Structures are given as structure tokens and as C-alpha cells.
Amino acid sequence: MSNILLWRHAEAEVESVSGLDSDRALTKRGRKDAVKMAAWLVKNWPEDTLVFSSPALRCIETAMALQIAGLSKKIAIQNADFLAVDTPLEYYIAQVLKCAASKNVLFIGHQPNLAHLIGKLIHLPPEACVVKKGAVWWVRERVTIEGAQRYLFTIQQPDYAIKN
């Protein structure tokens, strides 16, 4: 069984000091929400999970919350240019599926690409897969006699106190 976890970056500033979208930092609330979700992830995800982040500052800062939450574990975060906000959708999906083949992976990225990816994974229209800021969608894949099946395992959002 493999797991594909999709984490939308937490709340970010509307504008960056440089004026570049990719330089927008997390807000105070965004940092708090990222740590809350990271704590849940570290507690619940498979230990061999690979982490890929968009190169955008808000995604990198969201990913860094894993270091805070996983204090005793060293978590390697790989910068993945294909997760950038302006990546063409077909290339984005192809690269994610290539990285996720038979592995446990966490991708930290942006809307609307995450919604399109989730729709592709579980056969839903993208408009049914809106990922809130800071939320995690967890898709599992299992192999049965009929072949590989993907299903939505859980959705977690920072708005709720997550106890497990």
C-alpha cells in the first residue's frame, strides 16, 4: 500500500516585500496552522514518507514546520520545481505520479493544481476537491486482485483541534 499526502501551504501574506508571488511568507496564523498540521502528520504518516515542497517561500515555511513537529526525527525536505505554482498542469501531474509510484510521499503545494491532482487520483472533478489553506488530503493506493485502487483516506484541516 502506498500513501500520497497532499498539503496546501498555510495562510500567506497577500504581497511580498520583493513583489514576487514566490516570495510571499506565512502569516502568524499560517505558521501556527502549519505547526499544528505538521504535528498531526508526524504522528500519523508512515515513517518512510518522502517530502517534496514547491520552491515558493510559503511552501518551504510550511514544510519547515515538520522539523519543529518532528523534533526527534530528521525529516529531509526535497525542493521540487515541478510543484511551483506556474508549472503546466499535465507536467505537474506526470511528475507527481512518477515520484509517488509505490512510495509514501507528501507533496506541499498550491491550489488549483492540488485539486486537479486529487481529482485525477480519485476520479472526481477538480471543483469537488478544493484544498483549504493548510489542509492535508491523504489518498491511499492499494493493490487488489482487480488492480490498483486509490481512495480518499482522510482530510485534515488546521481549523479543527486534531487529536489522535
Q: Across the chain, what does the average pLDDT equal?
A: 92
Q: How far apart are CA 51 and CA 48, in angstroms?
A: 10
Q: Is 102 exposed, middle or buried (0-12, 13-18, 19+ CB in 10 A)?
A: exposed
Average pLDDT for 85-101? 92
**pTM for this prediction:** 0.93
Contacts of 109 (CB under 8 A, 6+ apart): 6, 7, 8, 9, 53, 54, 59, 83, 85
All domains of the chain, ordered by start, with CATH?
2-10+21-156 (3.40.50.1240)
**Residue 163 pLDDT class (50, 70, 90 cuts):** low
**Residue 100 pLDDT class (50, 70, 90 cuts):** confident
Average pLDDT for 42-50? 91
User: Which comes out higher in pLDDT, residue 144 or 62?
Assistant: 62
* pLDDT for the residue 71: 59
Q: Which of 12-26, 44-58, 69-83 has the lowest mean pLDDT?
A: 69-83
Contacts of 68 (CB under 8 A, 6+ apart): 35, 38
Joined together, the cell numbers standing for residue 21 give 508571488
